[in-house]
Amino acid sequence: MSKILVIDDDSGIQDALAAILEFDGHEVQLEVSDERVLTMEDRELPDLIILDLLLSGKDGKTIAKGFKNNDRLKHIPIIMLSAHPSAQQSALESGADDFLAKPFDMDVLLKKVRSNLKDDR
Amino acid sequence: MLQNSGLDIKKSSRHEVKEIEVSDEYSNLVNLASKKDLEIIFSQVGIGITVQKPNGELMFANDIGAKMIGFKSPGELINIPVKKIMEKFEVFGEDGGSIPIEAFPGRRALMGESPKEMVLKFKIKDSKVERWASVKATPVFDKDGRVIFAINTFNDVTEKKRVEIELRNSEARLKFLTKASRVLASSLDYKKTLKSVARLAVPHIADWYAIDMLNNKEVELLVVAHVDPKKVAWAKELRKIDPVDLDAPNGIANVFRSGKSEIYPLVTEELIKASSVSKKEIEVIKKLGLISVMLVPIKIRGRVVGVITFVSAESKREFNKSDLELAEQLAGRAALAIENASLYKKVEEEKKRLSNVVANVPGVVWEAYGEPGSQEQRMAYVSEYIIRLLGYSVKDWTSRPNFWLSIVHPDDVEETLKRTKENFRRGSGGVVQFRWVAKDKRVVWVEAQTAVIKNSEGKSVGMRGVTVDITSSKEAELNNHRLAAIVESSDDAIIGQDLKMRITNWNLGAEKLYGYSADEMAGKSILIIVPRDKKEEMREIMEVIRLGEGVDHLETTRITKNGRMIDVSLTISPLKDTSGKVIGASGIGRDISSSKELERRKDAFIGMASHELKTPITSIKAYIQVLQSKYRQSRDEVALKYLDKTNDQLNNLTELVNDLLDLSKIQTGRLELEKQQFNLGDLVRDTVETMQGLTQRHKIYLEGNENVDIVGDKNRIGQVLINLINNAIKYSPEAEKIILNVFRKGNKVTFTVKDFGIGISRTHQKRIFDRFYRAAGKSEKTFPGLGIGLYISSEIVRRHGGNIWVESVKRRGSTFFVSLPLR
């Protein structure tokens, strides 16, 4: 039973992701920014982060970079989410482990989630 | 005198016999006066008295009586035989005819008659003496009624008669002159009229009348007249044989030379002998029976042009001073008639010449008197050109005042009249332009060049001028004005330049757009407003212009006066002269900065909007798919079916949104390609597999494949493949297969997608790669889609340095080709 953190400022996306992930049996935490993560206790840390490239106020890539430079968080796999498929390259360069274009197929999402979780373990 | 004498002589009729009563007084008288005394008395009496015996011999005559009939004294007369008396004289009547003895009053009285008083002319033979007397004769009867003697009285009326004759002659002369003048003035054909005058002159003034005219140093007989036509013929013949010799010393030749009249009142033998005429001439004179001659010259301004000859022959008339005066007067009138005729001829010739010149003037030549616009205005002359120009007759123009004004175009009347009046009053000519309305309602533009006619006091009395048809040039002028106004008022920048790119025209729109005034830009190079990176483009455009071609709606940039860069759309055309040679260029430019700006915003908006659209789509898709999984688990077939359909539609929606996003990126130049090396063959296989999953009806065959590596954006190339296969499926709803092929040739690799659908017509084939172009025909149903798929594909292929094209036959199918470079 893994814990997945979704950082997306759109409630629609948040709920949709939650629906899929919970259906697949994961625990989902929804955030709009990286604030909470940075102040989380170790035991609260998620097993996977799904991060939107475009957040109001902050750039997803910067956040990803931040996470990877953080000793406590760098081990967590990040799947970057974006409306632009062409953003894949730069997303991966900023530290994301995987990339998913919106709108995505449920199967594709779940496959990526499973594979990234497995790698982590 | 004899009233109180004893002798009573009573007038009696023929049949009354008178008693002579010798009264006492007579006896007394007889006793008193002696014969001598009686003679003295009778000789003092102012009238001629003769007393005739019944045998005609005179028994008494007084001095006057004797002289009357040609005797010096009464003594010579008395008792000589009648015959002897009659030899002395001739008696003529008032009509000029001779009077026979029987008709003499004396004779008739001797017969017992009481004849009427007669006026007789006594011509004394052997002398020139002629006397006129009023003769009365009275018979004296004895008691038996027998005539014992006749008493003749002669009252000398010679003077009276002369005066009478003179008066008659004067009247005749005057009448002749008057008639002759009238005849000469009646026609300009002086030859004819001078001949007509002959009829008046002959025989009233003279027996012969002839006119000789000088024609180039030759004397020509114009007319010769006489009552006898035979004599006229003879005279003509004579002249032919013997023409006038101008060198002859006298006669007509002399008159021609001297210019002075000659009169020979009486031509006598002595005169002939004394003159130097030739024998032939003497003969002629004799044959003519020439008595009196007058020769008068016809002089025009001192030059003798002819000679009139008057000859008296049969009438025995002797020309006198008054006759000569008459002849000279006639000659004067003849001269006038000839001069008039020649002047008239000259005038007519001049008029004709002038008329010819005027007729060839391409304008109306006119002359008018009176103030323009007033009731006194009248057109004195207008050339016939007016008929050609306006269709009105010359009569129309001269018939009433200001006709010219009445056919001026109503809009021009006021101004035209004002200007014309001004010119007239000022006394100086001018140029006025206005329109006339022709008889057939045509409007004719004219230009009147006028001059003012002034009288000797310098006052304006009329105007004259030439009015020329300027319709064609005026229309051209007006057209030019109109065009210039259109150009000027246009909001677009309209610029004219020569082949050296120097500015020749710069309208208000150009001033507004670029900030430079027309004065600033005149003659300067157009490159002033061309940014550095567009100068080459400008030069290329000029090359195209030189070839007689132009550019249409070229979007480019220009710099304004204050350095601002603006987007413009230019249409530049070659300017040609009348022979077709290119002499410059004219360009219309429109500021599209705002529309460009708008387009940018729109494209940006599309991008943003489509980006935004993805969010709710993502949500919806997620839920649909969760539901699909749930219902798969619960095996709810119906729910699954509907959810599948919903998912399909969502995929369509996603595709549309993606296309919009791509379009916006292309337009705003933000389509980024992530180029990497990848295997084309793999991509093709994977794509075919995926696409096959989307269609049940069609079978996708991969007939050829190449396992080549190419460098490019794998996703985007994949997108192109998907677009082509999608189209193949969409546009062949009745077919069942789609064939793909990949082959390498040289340094290119090409893949083809072939369908067996509706095909694309020739005209559409050119346009299918255009933005927003969708295949649709009247009979065909429209196919779903935005029409930008192929546009995006062609952009992607182009960005890869490749080519995309189609081969198609309507109703058979289409084959799309994409070729990409290797390396």
Q: Do B622 and A19 touch (CB under 8 A)?
A: yes
B230 CB burial (10 A radius; 0-12, 13-18, 19+): exposed
Residue of A15, A106, A109 for testing the chain B interface, max B β-carbons within 10 Å? A106
Residue B4 has pLDDT above 60, yes or no: no
Quote the CA–CA distance of B666 and B664 in Å, as a whole number: 5
Say what the pLDDT of residue B165 is.
80
Residue B571 has pLDDT above 80, yes or no: yes
- What does the DSSP 8-state code read for residue B571? E
Kindly tell me the number of DSSP H helices and DSSP E strands found in chain A.
Answer: 5, 5
**Beta bridge partners of residue A50, listed in sequence order:** A6, A79
Q: Do A106 and B630 touch (CB under 8 A)?
A: no
Q: Do A104 and B618 touch (CB under 8 A)?
A: yes
- State the Cα torsion B13-B18-B21-B25 to the nearest 10°: 10
Q: What is the mean pLDDT of residues B547-554?
A: 91
**Considering only CA atoms, which of B340, B409, B403, B407 is closest in space to residue B377?**
B403
Q: Which of B76-80, B380-384, B504-508 has the highest mean pLDDT?
A: B504-508
Nearest CA in chain B to A100: B618
Distance from chain centroid for Cα B178: 45
- DSSP reduced 3-state for B434: strand
**Considering only CA atoms, which of B648, B714, B647, B653 is closest in space to residue B684?**
B714
**Considering only CA atoms, which of B335, B370, B176 is closest in space to residue B259?**
B335
Residue B28 has pLDDT above 60, yes or no: no
Q: What is the 3-state secondary structure (H, E, C) of B123-135?
A: EECCCCCEEEEEE
Query: How close does chain B come to A3, measured CA to CA in Å?
Result: 19
Q: Which residues of chain A make contact with B646, given a CB cutoff of 8 A?
A: none
The CATH architecture that domain B35-161 belongs to is: 2-Layer Sandwich (3.30)
Say what the pLDDT of residue B6 is.
43
Query: How close does chain B come to A16, measured CA to CA in Å?
Result: 5
Nearest CA in chain A to B674: A86
Query: How close does chain A come to B796, measured CA to CA in Å?
Result: 14
Q: Do B623 and A23 touch (CB under 8 A)?
A: no
Residue B21 has pLDDT above 70, yes or no: no
A13-69 pLDDT, tens digit per residue, is 899 899 899 988 999 999 988 888 888 888 889 999 999 988 877 788 889 999 999
Q: Is B656 touching A (CB cutoff 8 A)?
A: no
Q: Which residues of chain B make contact with A106, given a CB cutoff of 8 A?
A: 621-622, 625-626, 628-629
Q: Which residues of chain A make contact with B625, given a CB cutoff of 8 A?
A: 20, 105-107
Quote the CA–CA distance of B308 and B211 in Å, as a whole number: 4
- What does the DSSP 8-state code read for residue B782? P
Say what the pLDDT of residue B36 is.
74
Residue B488 has pLDDT above 70, yes or no: yes
Of chain A, the end-to-end C-alpha distance in Å amounts to 12
> What is the C-alpha radius of gyration for chain A, rounded to an integer number of angstroms?
13
Q: What is the 3-state secondary structure (H, E, C) of B302-348?
A: CEEEEEEEEEECCCCCCCCHHHHHHHHHHHHHHHHHHHHHHHHHHHH
At B23, the pLDDT band (50, 70, 90 cuts) reads low
Residue of A20, A24, A50 for testing the chain B interface, max B β-carbons within 10 Å? A20
Say what the pLDDT of residue B556 is.
92
B727 HSE (CA, 13 A, CB side): 27
Amino acid at B505: N
Q: Which residues of chain A make contact with B672, given a CB cutoff of 8 A?
A: 86
Q: What is the mean pLDDT of residues B564-577?
A: 92
Q: Do B618 and A85 touch (CB under 8 A)?
A: no
| pLDDT greater at residue B38 or residue B6 | B38
At B31, the pLDDT band (50, 70, 90 cuts) reads low
Of B73-87, B111-125, B548-562, B731-745, the least confident: B73-87
Same fold, B361-475 and B672-821: no
Quote the CA–CA distance of B719 and B139 in Å, as a whole number: 175
Nearest to B629 among A10, A16, A106 (CB): A106
Query: B104-141 b/e with 16+ CB inside 10 Å = b?
Result: bbbbbbbebbebeebebbbbbeeeeeebbbbbbbbbeb
Of B95-104, B360-369, B696-705, the least confident: B95-104
Residue of B624, B626, B652, B719 for testing the chain A interface, max A β-carbons within 10 Å? B626
- Provide the residue ranges of all domains of chain B, joining segments of one domain with +: 35-161, 186-339, 361-475, 490-596, 672-821
Quote the CA–CA distance of B700 and B720 in Å, as a whole number: 16
Of B25-29, B78-82, B169-173, B449-453, the least confident: B25-29
Residue B350 has pLDDT above 80, yes or no: yes
At B432, the pLDDT band (50, 70, 90 cuts) reads very high
Contacts of B280 (CB under 8 A, 6+ apart): B242
A52 CB burial (10 A radius; 0-12, 13-18, 19+): buried
Q: Which residues of chain B make contact with A21, given a CB cutoff of 8 A?
A: none
Would you tell me how many other CB atoms lie within 10 Å of the CB of residue B763? 7
Residue A79 has pLDDT above 80, yes or no: yes
Residue B140 has pLDDT above 90, yes or no: no
At B510, the pLDDT band (50, 70, 90 cuts) reads very high
Nearest to A106 among B617, B626, B674 (CB): B626
Quote the CA–CA distance of B45 and B2 in Å, as a whole number: 11
Question: Considering only residues 20 to 39 of chain A, which have any Cβ-Cβ distance to chain B shorter than 8 Å?
Answer: 20, 23
B412-427 pLDDT, tens digit per residue, is 999 999 999 999 999 8
Say what the pLDDT of residue B424 is.
93
- DSSP reduced 3-state for B408: strand
Nearest CA in chain A to B714: A86
B475 HSE (CA, 13 A, CB side): 6
DSSP secondary structure letters along B788-804:
-HHHHHHHHHHHTT-EE
Q: Do A103 and B650 touch (CB under 8 A)?
A: yes
Quote the CA–CA distance of B819 and B543 in Å, as a whole number: 34
> What is the C-alpha radius of gyration for chain B, rounded to an integer number of angstroms?
68
Say what the pLDDT of residue B2 is.
44
Span B672-821: which CATH code?
3.30.565.10
Q: Give phi and psi for B149, each to the nearest 5.
A: -165, 165
Q: Which residues of chain A make contact with B626, given a CB cutoff of 8 A?
A: 19-20, 23, 106
Name the one residue in this structure whose structure tokens are 């794998």: B714
Quote the CA–CA distance of B367 and B450 in Å, as a whole number: 10
Q: Which residues of chain B make contact with A19, given a CB cutoff of 8 A?
A: 622-623, 626
Q: What is the mean pLDDT of residues B435-450?
A: 93
Residue B11 has pLDDT above 70, yes or no: no
**Considering only CA atoms, which of B471, B453, B312 is closest in space to residue B389?**
B471
Q: Which residues of chain B make contact with A17, given a CB cutoff of 8 A?
A: 622
Nearest to B626 among A23, A83, A104 (CB): A23
- What does the DSSP 8-state code read for residue B756? -
Tokens of B567: 């987007």
Q: Do A16 and B611 touch (CB under 8 A)?
A: no
Nearest CA in chain A to B655: A103
**Considering only CA atoms, which of A117, A120, A119, A121 is closest in space to residue A27?**
A117
Query: How close does chain B come to A26, measured CA to CA in Å?
Result: 14
- Stated as kind and residue range, the H or E segment containing B509 is helix B508-514
Q: What is the mean pLDDT of residues B461-483?
A: 90
Nearest to A17 among B611, B622, B654 (CB): B622
Of B474-483, B657-666, B731-740, the least confident: B657-666
Query: How close does chain B come to A2, measured CA to CA in Å?
Result: 19
Q: Which of B20-29, B246-255, B334-343 has the highest mean pLDDT?
A: B334-343
Say what the pLDDT of residue B1 is.
44
State which fold the B186-339 domain adopts: Beta-Lactamase (3.30.450)
- What whole-number percentage of chain A has pLDDT above 90? 39
Quote the CA–CA distance of B290 and B310 in Å, as a whole number: 10
Q: Is A106 touching B (CB cutoff 8 A)?
A: yes
Q: Which residues of chain A make contact with B632, given a CB cutoff of 8 A?
A: none
**How many residues belong to chain B?**
823
Q: Do B618 and A103 touch (CB under 8 A)?
A: yes
Q: Which residues of chain B make contact with A84, given a CB cutoff of 8 A?
A: 611
Say what the pLDDT of residue B33 is.
60
User: Is the backbone of residue B148 left (phi > 0), alpha (psi -120 to 50) or beta?
Assistant: alpha
Say what the pLDDT of residue B545 is.
93
Tokens of B772: 């927003």
Contacts of B79 (CB under 8 A, 6+ apart): B57, B58, B59
**pTM of the full predicted structure?**
0.43
Quote the CA–CA distance of B29 and B52 in Å, as a whole number: 22
- DSSP reduced 3-state for B312: strand
Residue B12 has pLDDT above 50, yes or no: no
Say what the pLDDT of residue B32 is.
58
Cβ(A87)–Cβ(A58) under 8 Å? no
ipTM exceeds 0.95 = no
Quote the CA–CA distance of A6 and A72 in Å, as a whole number: 18
B636-677 pLDDT, tens digit per residue, is 888 888 888 898 888 888 888 888 888 888 887 778 788 888
Say what the pLDDT of residue B5 is.
43
Cβ(B744)–Cβ(B819) under 8 Å? no
Cβ(B49)–Cβ(B151) under 8 Å? yes
Say what the pLDDT of residue B772 is.
74
Q: Which residues of chain B make contact with A20, given a CB cutoff of 8 A?
A: 622, 625-626
Instruction: Provide the number of CB pairs (under 8 Å) joining chain A to chain B.
Output: 60
Span A3-116: which CATH code?
3.40.50.2300
Say what the pLDDT of residue B25 is.
55
- What whole-number percentage of chain B has pLDDT above 70? 94
Q: Which residues of chain A make contact with B633, given a CB cutoff of 8 A?
A: none
Quote the CA–CA distance of B742 and B818 in Å, as a whole number: 9
Say what the pLDDT of residue B816 is.
95
Q: Do A20 and B614 touch (CB under 8 A)?
A: no
Say what the pLDDT of residue B658 is.
84
Q: Which residues of chain B make contact with A8, given a CB cutoff of 8 A?
A: none
Q: Is B649 touching A (CB cutoff 8 A)?
A: no
Q: Is the domain covering B361-475 a CATH 3.30.450.20 domain?
A: yes
Contacts of B191 (CB under 8 A, 6+ apart): B222
- What whole-number percentage of chain B has pLDDT above 90? 31
Question: Considering only residues 51 to 80 of chain A, which have any Cβ-Cβ distance to chain B shorter than 8 Å?
Answer: none
- DSSP reduced 3-state for B167: helix
At B230, the pLDDT band (50, 70, 90 cuts) reads confident
C-alpha separations of B802 from B500, B793, B822 in Å: 40, 11, 10
Tokens of B429: 């000519």
Q: Do A102 and B629 touch (CB under 8 A)?
A: no
C-alpha separations of A25 from A3, A105, B233 in Å: 10, 17, 164
Residue B458 has pLDDT above 80, yes or no: yes
Q: Is the domain covering B490-596 a CATH 3.60.15.10 domain?
A: no
Q: Is A86 touching B (CB cutoff 8 A)?
A: yes
Q: Is B199 touching A (CB cutoff 8 A)?
A: no
